[in-house]
Amino acid sequence: MALDKATVARIAHLARIRVPEEELEPLTRELARILDWVEQLAEVDTAAVEPLRKVMDIPAHWREDVVTDGGRPEAILMNAPRRHDNFFVVPKVVE
């Protein structure tokens, strides 16, 4: 995949990463090599490979999924800035 310094600078800006101008060229080459390597992975025939579900064959220890209120509303809400009965009061974030 072809990358240029402007693209790498834009990626850095979107990722909120400050990259000095003198580091853009080496970073561009490094990212291009990484993307070339990832493109090589697409050439590998994996049709006969079963998906990996877990690394080790260790059984999972399941427990009963029980919903509780914690049984300690006063301790849980003790440091809440605002509360109403046994609930946290939070500012509206969705219009």
> Which comes out higher in pLDDT, residue 1 or 60?
60
User: Average pLDDT, stretch 36-50?
Assistant: 91
- Establish if 9 belongs to a structural domain: yes
Does any domain span residue 14? yes
Overall number of domains in the chain:
1
Q: What SS3 state is found at 4? A: coil
Classify residue 67: in a domain, yes or no. Answer: no
Cα separations in angstroms, 24 against 16, 19, 41, 51, 62: 15, 7, 26, 38, 49
Domain that holds residue 22: 5-41
Q: At 12, which CATH number?
A: 1.10.20
Report field, pTM of the whole predicted structure over 0.95: no
Within a domain: 71: no
Residue 95 lies in a domain: no
For 44-73, write each residue's pLDDT tens digit.
999 998 888 888 888 888 888 888 867 888
Long-range contacts of 1-5 (CB under 8 A, 24+ apart): 1/32, 1/35, 1/36, 1/39, 2/32, 3/28, 3/31, 3/32, 3/35, 4/28
The answer to whether residue 70 sits within a structural domain is no
pLDDT score of 6:
94
